[in-house]
Amino acid sequence: MKRTLLALTGLITAAALFACGSTATTTTASFDSAMTINVYTRDTTSGTRAGFMAGIGFAEAETDDSVLVDGFIIKDNTGILSAMSIDEYGIGYISLSSVNDTIKALYYEGVAPTEANVINDTYALKRPFMWMTRAAGDYPSADVEAIVNAFVAFLGTSDAGDIIANAGAIALPSSTTWDAIKSQHDVCLEDNSGVTVRFGGSDSIQKVAQALTAAFMPKCGNFVAEHDHTGSGDAYKRTNDPAIKDTSVGKDLAFASRYFKTTETVPEIQRGQLAWDAIVAIVHLNNPLSDVTAADLKAIYDGTYAKWSDLDANE
Amino acid sequence: MTDRTLLSKMKDTAGGRRSDRIAKTVFLSAALLSASFVFLIAGIVLIRGALPFLTDNDGLGSVDLLRFLTADVWLVGATFASNLYGVGYLILSTLFIAFLSLSVSFPIGVLTALFIAKVAPKPLAKVLRTVVETLASIPSIVFGLFGAGVILKLVYDFSMSIGYQSKGGNSILATALVLALMTIPTITSISEVAIRSVDKALEHGSLALGASKTQTHFKVVLAAAKSGIFTSAILGIGRALGEATAVSLVAGGRRSGVSFDLLDTTATLTTMMLEGLKETTGLDYDIRFSVGLVLLVVILITNLTLNAIKRKVGSVHVKA
């Protein structure tokens, strides 16, 4: 009995090994569009997911999995990237800075996903990273106001651009360096270790914002940066809404990962853009698809298109 | 002269006793410190894990415990705006995957142990033992990367070859294989020790009665070492139940429903705790402690059950 069991185990192992060995070579370059689309997504806490879903006009899927097509696969940025090198029939999205030649990055509405096209504002699957400050004279102290002004100036330098790029976003082009403009900000020569500046707004920008303040603190008298990111909606409210800005959650400078709405108007000097966050839909290199529209992507993610041929039929 | 030597010897002994006392105190405090961490960690997980059920979670309302334990959807409604969490399907798939991986790793691990302990020539056994020990010390993230880079591809190609379109290889099968790879060394090393400690007289008796070597190995040696072998399975399943990193790279992040389809995506209690952990806040963060609490209970119950079975199986003929 035991010996039979042993023989059986050996046989199964051998069969499994043979199966693996023989199947590893069966992948062909021919693409079968009758296959189901495997939909890859980030999880609901991801800022990239929020940007992607809002960008393709599927905002209800930003934080809700139940509106997505059945059988979607959740992976992180790198997970989706590596999955697209395996899964011929998959589609996913990653941030533009992660794109490499192991996958095919899709044109969006006919525009190639390149940094240049993001900066010249032709590539549309992206969202702006915006900042907003309090009104002049409406700060806890003159020091805080001066540091915020210096930080805003810093955002426009190539030093900040490098930090933004390292954090995965796309900085606006700049030819100024901090060294060239720092003489205009005397506050940074003082010891500011007792001054706290409150940052907040979009949580998608938190990583970029923290990298920026971490780099700027030693350049500006070691002030203390306090980060409390609660969402783009709070950027205006906590800096300029008279009912909230002076409560304990008030902020000195806050970020939004979208343009400010008409209800959030402040003088132009109090707001601006620091970067772009561009997202790219990606597929396997064998996939003949090269260009998608927002409507295509929404139809794929909500399950209207289940097979790749559905996409061709509606082109 | 001799008196003086005696005196100094006595002093040494007295000093030795003093150092013994100091050492004892140091050991005791180290033991207390490490033991207190168990209570600290269990306590914090218990308290934080219970909070979502007791507080109103910043206006979202408290989570219904019964629903949480039985629901087959992770979250109904939008993240940060809903309290309808559920782990029922995760408990089932976690147990299913752990036992599935054990069904692969246990026979391989035990047979490897038998080979190393009884069959292999001494130099080869030594090499194999080192290999197994090295395998046991490989960090789980490395197994995860191997899984994501190699096993996903193998599973994907395998399923394509049988005409089934898998989800890029992200599947129960891939997860069970990665976990099996991780648990084989645990099972092998512990089983090997158990097999080696079987009384030689038993083997000689069996051989003297005319049994072949193979008959002796299976009917006497393995039977005599079954208690230790069972222990290896318990430890193996413990590792499989608690593994998060490697599993999260190959599971696919299933959000609802139990699936026993080997090529379908899955999720476990641990992958759900890990997913989005770094970016989430509020109830969506706190609920992960509750999932952790559920996992601790699942592991506890599994271990108690397996230990009860082990006592029934009994430990005979094994040298202390």
Query: What pLDDT, on the 0 to 100 scale, is given for residue A18?
Result: 47
Strand A196-201 relative to strand A224-229: parallel, antiparallel, unpaired? parallel
What are A255-297's pLDDT values in tens digits?
998 888 888 888 989 999 999 999 999 999 999 999 999 999 9
Query: What pLDDT, on the 0 to 100 scale, is given for residue B147?
Result: 93
For A112-172, the DSSP string reads ---HHHHHTT---SEEEEEEEEPPTT-SSSHHHHHHHHHHHHHHTSHHHHHHHHHTTSEEP
**N- to C-terminal Cα distance for chain B?**
49
Backbone angles phi, psi at B256, to 5 degrees: -160, 150
Three-state DSSP class for A32?
coil
Nearest Cα residue in chain B from A42: B276
Query: What pLDDT, on the 0 to 100 scale, is given for residue A221?
Result: 93
Nearest Cα residue in chain A from B111: A6
**N- to C-terminal Cα distance for chain A?**
62
Q: Which of A289, A300, A285 is nearest to A27 (CA)?
A: A285
Compute the Cα dihedral for B19, B21, B25, B31 and give only its sign. Answer: positive
CA angle A144, A147, A152 (to 5 degrees): 125
Query: What pLDDT, on the 0 to 100 scale, is given for residue A45?
Result: 82
* Whole-complex ipTM: 0.81
Residues of chain B with pLDDT under 70: 1-16, 314-320
Amino acid at A209: A
Percentage of the residues of chain A whose pLDDT score is greater than 90: 65
CB B111 within 8 A of CB B192: no
How many Å apart are CA A207 and CA A190, to the nearest integer? 27
Q: Which of A47, A63, A73 sits opposite B79 (nearest CB)?
A: A63
Query: What pLDDT, on the 0 to 100 scale, is given for residue A167?
Result: 87
Nearest Cα residue in chain B from A91: B168
Q: What is the pTM of this model?
A: 0.80
CB B165 within 8 A of CB B210: no
Query: What pLDDT, on the 0 to 100 scale, is given for residue B81?
Result: 85
Query: What pLDDT, on the 0 to 100 scale, is given for residue B315?
Result: 56
Contacts of A19 in chain B (CB under 8 A): 158, 161
Question: Chain A within 8 Å of B77 (Cβ-Cβ)?
Answer: yes
Residues of chain A with pLDDT under 50: 1-2, 17-28
How many Å apart are CA A254 and CA A198, to the nearest integer? 8
Query: What pLDDT, on the 0 to 100 scale, is given for residue A25?
Result: 39
Using the beta-carbon criterion (under 8 Å), do A43 and B154 form an inter-chain contact? no
Å from B279 to nearest chain A CA? 6
Using the beta-carbon criterion (under 8 Å), do B275 and A74 form an inter-chain contact? yes
Query: What pLDDT, on the 0 to 100 scale, is given for residue A153?
Result: 95
Domain boundaries, chain B: 3-54, 88-314
Contacts of A62 in chain B (CB under 8 A): 78
Query: What pLDDT, on the 0 to 100 scale, is given for residue A23?
Result: 41
CATH class, B88-314 region:
mainly alpha
For A38-106, the DSSP string reads EEEE--TT-HHHHHHHHHTT-GGGSS-GGGSPTT-EE--HHHHHHHTTT-TTEEEEEEGGG--TTSEEP
